[in-house]
Structure 1
Amino acid sequence: MDTPALRKARGAFFTPSTLARFITDWAVRSPADTVLEPSCGDAAFLAPAVDRLRALGAPVGLDGQLHGVEIHAASAKAATARLAAQNAKVEIAIGDFFDQTPPPKKFDVVIGNPPYVRYQQFAGDARAKSLQAALAQGVRLTGLASSWAAFTIHASHFLKDTGRLGLVLPAELLTVNYAAQVRRFLLTRFAKVRLVLFEELVFPDVLEEVVLLLAEGRGDAPSFEVYQARNLADLERICADSWIGYVPSGDQKWTSALLPAAALDIYARLTEGPGFTNMLGWGETYLGAVSGNNDWFSLDRAQAAKLGLKSNELLGISPPGSKHLRGLTFTQAAWESLAKEGKRCFLFAPGANPSAAARAYIAEGEAADVHKTYKCRKRSPWWRVPLVDRPDLLFTYMNHDRPRLITNDADAQFLNSLYGVKLKAAVRAIGRELLPLASLNSATLLGAEVVGRAYGGGMLKHEPKEADMLPVPTPVTLEAIADELRAIRPQIGRALRSTKPQRAVELVDTILLERHLGLSPSEVAGLRGARDLLFQRRVTRSRSERVTN
């Protein structure tokens, strides 16, 4: 018996008939077309293909035109019976699609809904076969790739050069780094790539967002096109001028395609104009010190005193994590307060000749096998943490809401739970004073969603190169509005400490985006709405993970 639990385990989800018919009608264009539905289940796509082929004038029996692959024998039997009821013949191979090779004469059409199994459950022989199938097409997928990625690449191998590929894929195609290889493959393999996006969830009882991939022909597509649909009913309204083209830059994510066209235009005009730059324009972003074991190397004041460590064997640090960094500035007073609260504000950092107390603590670490952790055993002595430059700004790179820039007035060292920003000398003063405040604007917040990546639980993460791309006001812009920003600093601080931090963004938007850069209130509202859209998509995905895992 095929149960929901078994279907979930193999990544099978029933496809709404409206969606299957739309893809089928787009892909099948000739009465002689041959059609393959890999992972065909109960023939969600082959069944409407029968109607489409006959409407185009195909013979009733459709001998040799319909093909499927299905790993689940009972589903293959149901698909055969379903098509038999339509007086149509079908050839279904029972087995793993990754074990299949294309026939000598490839297909005009490959359509379907690939199995969606997250990388955590997609392991062993199944994963190995999928990665090998993708590699056979010149695509090396990472270990984080879910099942659909290799499936998409393998399915393309079954198409004629003039053929058409229509698949239902998770929206993470646009937004996750591991899909960069798939995005690059689609643009190099096909002459035209189109995507249909949905504002609403379209699969009943499934919280995963989907996109429809419509790819055809053979050749290098210079761009991809997008149609933004509200729901399945909108599919009926697609016409030739519905599509918006996007030219991707290298392996950058296609997240911008999720934005409403008007907001994307405002965002591009603003961030590419003279009023904005990126973090790289201000200075260098880098990871904090990697200790190898933060729990052992970071100490609170009471621990340090109990161990009898000398003051010159300890360094003041921003405690591991980032929850304590909520304002605009990390001050010496704030550090002292955290130290009094028992936070781990000290890094074990003895010199070349450790004291007796330090040697005793090192012995404790060796007894606990701390020295055997990867980072520790790669350095000599294992107990000396390689330090990085004290940063001008601290950067929280893993966040639920937004990345935060905080001026490091405490001149504290920091660990790898944070990034540091070392500002260029010429802009150091204005950057330390005002960049954390000025980054509280809707364009920067939207940019954080565009250049960052969604992780488990809906967290937004920025790798150092992604942090470098974060759009922020230029030094010249900050100089021009410095007095106005200084005037609202107390209000910003109160807003950030309150339950309504959005008030801080509104204050900065008024000064920076409206008064100085000339955006209208409606344009600023468009940026806020676009940021909220991407934020909600990220949160929705986290709910999907909780439901499906």
Structure 2
Amino acid sequence: MSKTLGAFYTPQDLIKFIIESLPKKNKNSHLSILEPSCGDGRFIRSLLTHYKNYKIHIDGVEFDQSTFKNTKLAFDNNQNVSIIWDDFLSFRPLDKHYDLIIGNPPYINKKLLTGEQLTFLRNILSYNDISLLADKNIWTAFIVKSVNLLKDDGILAFVLPLELLQVKFSMYIQNFLKKSFMYIEIYAFDHLFFDTTTGQDTVVLIAHRKHYSKGISIKDVAWNNNKIKNLTNTHSGFKDQENTTLKWSSRILSNTDLEFLTSLSEKFKPVSQYIKSKPGIVTAANNYFITNKDTINKYKLKNYTKPIIQKSIFLKDAVLFNFDDYLNIQNANKPSFFIDLTEYKVGSNKSIDSYLSLGKELNIHQRFKCKNRTPWYKVPLVEPGEAIFFKRLNKHPKLLKNEDRLYTTDSAYNITCNVGIDINSFIFSFYNPLTLIFCELNGRRYGGGVLELIPSEFKQLPLPYIKVSEEYFHKFSQEFSLKENIIDILVNNGREILKEHISIEEFERLIFIYKKLVKRRLDMKLFYPLN
């Protein structure tokens, strides 16, 4: 595994799953196959076994010279395999086209590419009339170039990051795929196959130039003991994806459900019409600039600290947060002190100078954002808002009234109401099934069921705003703290919020859709039973 090369070797069980998911081929036909980032040759070995009674030839391209030499040596005696040392971005197979292109493209952020590689990537996108906004990662170019190398009836089978279904720049690749293929299968798993620091989920894409079906088929795969436990199929045509911000990851829902949700959401203004939001404090080194009371006492930093909320897991499941709640975090010795040295001058306090020296020993001062500060330890403050929304969520979104205006890190968005909007009413209105459904549809899923909403996704959420009194909000807050799960809140309060807009049957449909989406993400059968 190499971060720079983007090499995350594919587990054998996943390779077996992909190859066995390919359509049957006529044994009399000659198959030409390409593996554009062949690594140690594990895909090639499995293909040779699977197609042992077929006439095949496999080209494997590998960029890393050391890996290339070892893989080439392993297949030197096999006339059906050619291992080629090249960068796939510049690879030119002399007008050759393939029946099958298969593999696990490298996952490399463009910041880690060489200037030459980035030029190749952008040239590939430009040649295919794809916006250069899709240049964020090398895997996009691997998809596009591979499509160009397929025969008219060829198949593309790739392991790809879940980004394909979720992030904004992927929409350019999605549109390209829709134009290039008759039928697209996407397999999404409840299992994290790669032990990466990002916890990035993966999907399998199998795209057919020609097929007896048309459209997109999203298949949810329950994976247990290295094999399929259950497979749920949802079919969707291409046409409904045009002119919509809904992501391919929403395709677990039927077209009628998506049309129902889209039509209902258009009745309401987005979150951005009610509030302004901005991320909290970016320290560039939370473990250094945010610490617990033991460290504060050790280095006598108390007079240079501000109370801060670092993580949502430190907070109770409520819609109110105040200084008493903060003190509970502090007394549990959790990181809750933000070290604010904005006004400090080096040399005026030995203990603080000692802490700054520790920072330099840890190379904190050399981090990108710190290097661009003068001095490096001067962290820009972001004023607290009336409420806090945590961009990453697990069971359900966390939106809390920040009663005592405590600071947050950029794990949260600080919310300030627009003129005429009441923060209590905004929070109350947020917890309805429609808004929470669109959190699921708009957000980006990570390993372990974590969902993240970037600022633009949060601001686009439809919100059926209604005004409530202080007393009513207080009652709501108590009910929220005592709830068994979020469904209780959505059922009890969601009807009040949406009663002027939908029937009881439609409301029950919303609740069912929400349960279905969350169950898919978390697989919480007991938490959200579908009945």
Report the TM-score when normalising by structure 1: 0.68
Residue 524 of structure 1 aligns with which residue?
510
Residue 473 of structure 1 aligns with which residue?
463
C-alpha distance 445-284 of structure 1, shift in aligned 2 (>3 A): same
Greater share of helix: 1
Greater share of strand: 2
Residue 156 of structure 1 aligns with which residue?
147
C-alpha distance 8-131 of structure 1, shift in aligned 2 (>3 A): farther
In 2, Cα distance between equivalents of 1:181 and 1:93: 33
In 1, Cα distance between equivalents of 2:298 and 2:220: 62
Question: What is the DSSP-based 3-state SS (H/G/I as helix, E as strand, rest coil) of the residue aligned with 2:100?
Answer: strand
In 2, Cα distance between equivalents of 1:405 and 1:166: 42
C-alpha distance 181-165 of structure 1, shift in aligned 2 (>3 A): same
1:267-325 Cα distance to aligned partner (Å, 9 max, x none): 212222x2x333222222211122343344345556656766675x543x333222233
Question: What is the DSSP-based 3-state SS (H/G/I as helix, E as strand, rest coil) of the residue aligned with 2:206?
Answer: strand
CA contact (8 A) 2:188 2:218 kept: yes
Question: What is the DSSP-based 3-state SS (H/G/I as helix, E as strand, rest coil) of the residue aligned with 1:391?
Answer: coil
1:298-337 equivalence runs, <5 A: 298=290, 300=292, 313-315=304-306, 317-325=307-315, 326-337=317-328
How far apart are 1:409 and its partner, in Å? 0.5
CA contact (8 A) 1:441 1:508 kept: yes
1:206-264 Cα distance to aligned partner (Å, 9 max, x none): x96434323479xxxxxx932356889x99x99xx973533345887422233232332
Residue 41 of structure 1 aligns with which residue?
44
The answer as to 2:130 corresponding to 1:138 is: no
CA contact (8 A) 1:291 1:385 kept: yes
The answer as to 2:282 corresponding to 1:290 is: yes
Residue 54 of structure 1 aligns with which residue?
none
In 2, Cα distance between equivalents of 1:158 and 1:256: 30
In 2, Cα distance between equivalents of 1:70 and 1:136: 23
Q: Name the aligned partner's letter for residue 527 of structure 1.
A: I
Residue 512 of structure 1 aligns with which residue?
497
How far apart are 1:420 and its partner, in Å? 1.1
In 2, Cα distance between equivalents of 1:171 and 1:380: 38
Q: How many residues align?
A: 472
Q: In angstroms, what is the RMSD of aligned CA positions?
A: 5.1
C-alpha distance 346-155 of structure 1, shift in aligned 2 (>3 A): closer
Match of 1:464 among 455, 460, 469: 455
1:50-199 equivalence runs, <5 A: 68-70=58-60, 93-95=82-84, 98=88, 100-104=91-95, 107=97, 110-115=99-104, 134-138=121-125, 145=138, 149-159=140-150, 164-170=154-160, 172=162, 173-176=164-167, 179-180=170-171, 182-186=173-177, 190=179, 194-197=183-186
How far apart are 1:433 and its partner, in Å? 0.7
The answer as to 2:480 corresponding to 1:492 is: yes
1:316-338 Cα distance to aligned partner (Å, 9 max, x none): x3332222332101123222333
Work out which of the two has the higher radius of gyration on C-alpha atoms and give 1 or 2: 1
Q: Name the aligned partner's letter for residue 420 of structure 1.
A: N
CA contact (8 A) 1:395 1:419 kept: yes
C-alpha distance 8-412 of structure 1, shift in aligned 2 (>3 A): closer
Q: Name the aligned partner's letter for residue 275 of structure 2.
A: G
Residue 363 of structure 1 aligns with which residue?
353
Question: What is the DSSP-based 3-state SS (H/G/I as helix, E as strand, rest coil) of the residue aligned with 2:185?
Answer: strand
The answer as to 2:204 corresponding to 1:210 is: yes
In 2, Cα distance between equivalents of 1:456 and 1:388: 30
The answer as to 2:431 corresponding to 1:440 is: yes
In 1, Cα distance between equivalents of 2:112 and 2:297: 50
Residue 65 of structure 2 aligns with which residue?
none
CA contact (8 A) 1:119 1:144 kept: yes
C-alpha distance 377-385 of structure 1, shift in aligned 2 (>3 A): same
How far apart are 1:20 and its partner, in Å? 1.8
In 1, Cα distance between equivalents of 2:220 and 2:282: 46
Match of 1:227 among 217, 238, 244: 217
Match of 2:389 among 392, 395, 409: 395
Give structure 1 stretches of 5+ with no counterpart. Answer: 1-5, 52-61, 81-90, 218-223, 540-549
1:388-440 Cα distance to aligned partner (Å, 9 max, x none): 2221111111233333111110111222232212221221x2xx213333323
In 1, Cα distance between equivalents of 2:411 and 2:44: 45
CA contact (8 A) 1:197 1:228 kept: yes
Question: What is the DSSP-based 3-state SS (H/G/I as helix, E as strand, rest coil) of the residue aligned with 1:388?
Answer: coil
Question: What is the DSSP-based 3-state SS (H/G/I as helix, E as strand, rest coil) of the residue aligned with 2:44?
Answer: coil
In 2, Cα distance between equivalents of 1:351 and 1:123: 31
The answer as to 2:410 corresponding to 1:416 is: yes
In 2, Cα distance between equivalents of 1:295 and 1:16: 41
In 2, Cα distance between equivalents of 1:152 and 1:392: 45
CA contact (8 A) 1:198 1:210 kept: yes
Report the TM-score when normalising by structure 2: 0.70
Residue 84 of structure 1 aligns with which residue?
none
1:261-276 equivalence runs, <5 A: 261-272=255-266, 274=267, 276=268
C-alpha distance 69-342 of structure 1, shift in aligned 2 (>3 A): closer
In 2, Cα distance between equivalents of 1:302 and 1:230: 47
CA contact (8 A) 1:329 1:409 kept: yes
Residue 225 of structure 2 aligns with which residue?
none
How far apart are 1:473 and its partner, in Å? 2.0
Give the share of equivalent positions with the same residue, in percent: 15
CA contact (8 A) 1:169 1:212 kept: no
Give structure 2 stretches of 5+ with no counterpart. Answer: 1-7, 36-42, 62-70, 127-131, 194-200, 222-227, 526-531
CA contact (8 A) 1:287 1:419 kept: yes
Q: Name the aligned partner's letter for residue 465 of structure 1.
A: S
Residue 443 of structure 2 aligns with which residue?
452
Question: What is the DSSP-based 3-state SS (H/G/I as helix, E as strand, rest coil) of the residue aligned with 2:400?
Answer: strand
